Amino acid sequence: MGKVWILRDYGRCSGCRLCEIVCSLKHEGTVWPEASRIRVFMPIPGAEFPQLCVQCHDYPCVGACPEKALSVDDETGAVIVDVDKCTACGVCIDTCPGRIPRIHPKGEYVIICDLCGGDPECVKVCQTAGYHALKLITRTEATTFKHYAKPPHVIGRDVAFKIYGELAEEMM
């Protein structure tokens, strides 16, 4: 299979939140968007976008974890959380350029996209629904793989500007 990555086309996101639903079903066994490893943000109406781990090329969250609770899956490239080691200290959140890891709603450990073992449910539901905002690719398909996560307000500003142009600045 090789290492994979979820390509995001923010302009195609409808804000349906099906990705959050299937993620929570997969990982929690129930519809619980607050415990989803992918989150949909809406800085202004009509400018929704998904945010999930981008698997930064140097994984700053993994290196920062004082408990060594985070590791990189050799097969997929996903960040894996060892919930038995994680103390929910939040160092990985502070270190992530996009502040993507989150404390699980129960407060016991962090949650990060694990790519569903290489077959992400969010991608499948997005493709099936016909939005195609998420697409699974191999890292070799990416022209360069030096990505860093961005915080929601930065992505939101960019998405809003693409949709509304200069009017977006007044709306935000």
| pLDDT tens digits in sequence order for the chain, 172 residues long | 578 989 999 889 999 999 999 999 999 999 999 999 999 998 878 788 899 999 988 999 999 999 999 999 999 999 999 999 999 999 999 999 999 999 999 989 999 999 999 999 999 999 999 999 999 998 775 555 556 678 887 877 777 777 767 665 665 5
Structurally, at CATH architecture level, domain 4-171 sits in 2-Layer Sandwich (3.30)
In b/e form, how buried is each residue of 13-23, taking b as 16+ CB within 10 angstroms?
bebebbbbbbb
pTM: 0.87
Output the pLDDT for position 170.
Answer: 63
By the 8 A CB rule, do 21 and 32 touch? no
Provide the H-helix boundaries in the chain: 18-28, 60-64, 91-95, 121-129, 152-164, 167-171
What are the residue ranges spanned by the domains of the chain?
4-171
Strand partners, 103: 110
